[in-house]
Amino acid sequence: MPARDFEVLEHPADIGFRAFGATLPELYANAAMAMLSIADDPAAVEPREEYRLAVESGDRESLMVDWLSEVLYWFDGKRIAFHDVEVRVLEGERRIEGVARGERREGGRHRARLIVKAVTYHQLKVEECGGQWVAEVFLDI
């Protein structure tokens, strides 16, 4: 079976995704790209600038929600479209630092697919399964 970074999950009211990673840092990066792919088209974004992202939280699941919320804040609040995301530091399950490459969002080139309002704790999972890390995350749209 070919390796996958993420897949979109069906939900009656929201939308979700299942992200995969060989390591926890890869899982957090792939989760960010899954969310961004739901909101926008990362392939249409030029990696012109680097943006540093960092969050701290209480546990692995909260760190996932806080990490994705930070990515969403940059995307929606600061109007930055991202081409890719890289996790550079993961301290235990409580602190994450990374860099995202992208550019300012422009209406003509960066058309929103869905408006993501928030990252939720609904059915949230971050676990290791068969030597691979898997996260299931649902977004409020």
Whether the Cβ atoms of residue 80 and residue 74 lie closer than 8 Å to each other: yes
pLDDT 10s digits, 87-105:
999 998 899 999 999 999 9
Mean pLDDT on 52-81? 96
- Alpha helices, DSSP H, located in the chain: 24-39, 60-72
Q: Does the pLDDT at position 4 exceed 80?
A: no
Residue 111 CB coordination number (10 Å): 11
Domains of the chain in sequence order: 22-118 (3.55.10.10)
Confirm if 135 and 125 have CB atoms less than 8 A apart: yes
